[in-house]
Structure 1
Amino acid sequence: MNLKPQDFLVALKLLALGEQHWTYARLAHELGLSASEAHAAVQRGLASSLLADASIARAYSATKPAAVPTLSENRARGAYAAASPRKAAPARTNLDSAAVVNRHNLAEFALHGAKYAFPPERLPVGPGVPTSHSAPAFASVFAEGHEPLVWPDANGSVRGEGLVPLHPCVPGAARNDAVLYELLALFDALRAGRARERGMASTRLQKLIDPAPRTAAAKGHRG
């Protein structure tokens, strides 16, 4: 079984949702996928252990680490949410929150595997949605001085070097979810950024996905 880009995207979306209720209909609606695509992505996520069965994971919910706030969630939302009108949310179904993120495995994949599975593809300069070091959430973190990096979008507010997004639905999905937007921009910084950007992205992604790695206390204590 090979993971597809939308499988990683769905896992990041579930991370962004945190403890919120979700259904396949909601997941598909907010990501711009079909319900069948969302369902298949979750199933592959479960098979790869990026996700875990929610009925099993609930037994450990009392020890879940608290969510890490975004660097500038309100600023990111304000800078990007106006790009398109929101659609009406779909009606709920009985398929409620069937899976949860396996934080340890997702962090390991995001930091050490995903950039090889989904390598960056550069495009010519043009209008688009800022990502990586150019994303609004990182305006005060990275110094200006090099070409903005953008997801190509005819209606984009920034002109810069193009970067093919993880999945074609990424610009629209990020538009309505500032947390997801930050996660995707960090992933782009990790796979396409300079050394300093990659270092910052790695540290931040670790804190967002798995702030208390379970292996930390086990290392260096043998004998």
Structure 2
Amino acid sequence: MQLKPQDFLVALKLVAWGEQRWTYARLAQELGLSASEAHAAVKRGLQAGLLVDAALLAPPPAAAPGAQEAAAIYRVRAKPRRALAEAASSADNPARVHSRNLAEFAVHGAKYAFAADRLPVAVGVPTSHSAPAFAGVFAPGSDDWVWPHPNGTARGQGLAPLHPSAPFAAMQDAKLYEMLALFDALRVGRARERGMALKRLPLLIYPDGPKPEERPMYG
């Protein structure tokens, strides 16, 4: 099993949704993926440990008052495998993010698994430190980065997005956009920009995790 870019995109989208309940149909629609791509991405995310089966997190049903353990001897005929598959495909909130694992992967592994592909100067959607979330943090300059896109409003150094549908998804979800831009800062940013991304991205994914160490930034 090898992770694909859309698997990381799906995981970040689930971070952006937080505690919202979701379905595969909604996930596919908002990310510009097919239903089969969304299913496969979640499956690989579960296998890699970036996601957790939501059914495993649900508390067991409470026993009825006065019920005894002996009631467990009664058997219920299992549903046919096909019925289980159909139920899973329409299930509400079928998986959740494993925040610690995803934050670790985002900072230490993803930039190597999904290396940056630099493109010619183009008009597109700003990313990395040029994204709207960082307006006022970094002064605009000649090293602005963009995802080439027909609906783009900025001109800069072209950078292939994590996945072809990432610009579409980002323009609909500000938190997802911020995380994708931070990921690009890790991939192509200078020392100061990488330092910001190393601090900010894991906190967005895993707010309850250990706080990143303060390190001097050069460059």
TM-score, with structure 1 as normaliser: 0.79
Match in the other structure for 1:7? 7
Matched, 1:29 2:17: no
Match in the other structure for 1:143? 139
Match in the other structure for 2:198? 202
Q: Distance in 2 between matches of 1:215 and 1:132?
A: 22
Match in the other structure for 2:179? 183
Q: Distance in 2 between matches of 1:151 and 1:177?
A: 16
Per-residue deviation, 1:211: 2.0
Q: Distance in 1 between matches of 2:99 and 2:28?
A: 22
Per-residue deviation, 1:185: 0.4
Residues 33 and 43 (structure 1 numbering): CA distance in 2 closer, same or farther, change over 3 Å? same
Matched, 1:97 2:97: no
Match in the other structure for 2:106? 110
Match in the other structure for 1:133? 129
Aligned length: 183
Amino acid aligned to 1:212: D
Which entry has the higher C-alpha Rg, 1 or 2? 2
Q: Distance in 2 between matches of 1:4 and 1:26?
A: 20
Are the aligned partners of 1:104 and 1:214 in contact in 2 as well (CA < 8 Å)? no
Cα RMSD of the aligned pairs, angstroms, is 1.6
Amino acid aligned to 2:182: L
Per-residue deviation, 1:147: 2.2
Q: Deviations over 1:13-64 (max 9, x none)?
A: 00101111110000000000000100000000000000001122245xxxxx
Match in the other structure for 1:16? 16
Q: Deviations over 1:98-122 (max 9, x none)?
A: 0000000000000000000001111
Q: Give structure 1 regions of 4+ aligned residues with deviation exceeding 4 angstroms.
A: none
Per-residue deviation, 1:196: 0.5
Which structure carries more relative contact order (alpha carbon 8 Å, separation 6+)?
1
Q: Distance in 2 between matches of 1:170 and 1:190?
A: 17
Q: Percent identity?
A: 67
Match in the other structure for 2:158? 162
Residues 214 and 138 (structure 1 numbering): CA distance in 2 closer, same or farther, change over 3 Å? closer
Q: Distance in 2 between matches of 1:214 and 1:161?
A: 34
Greater shift after overlay, 105-114 or 152-161? 152-161
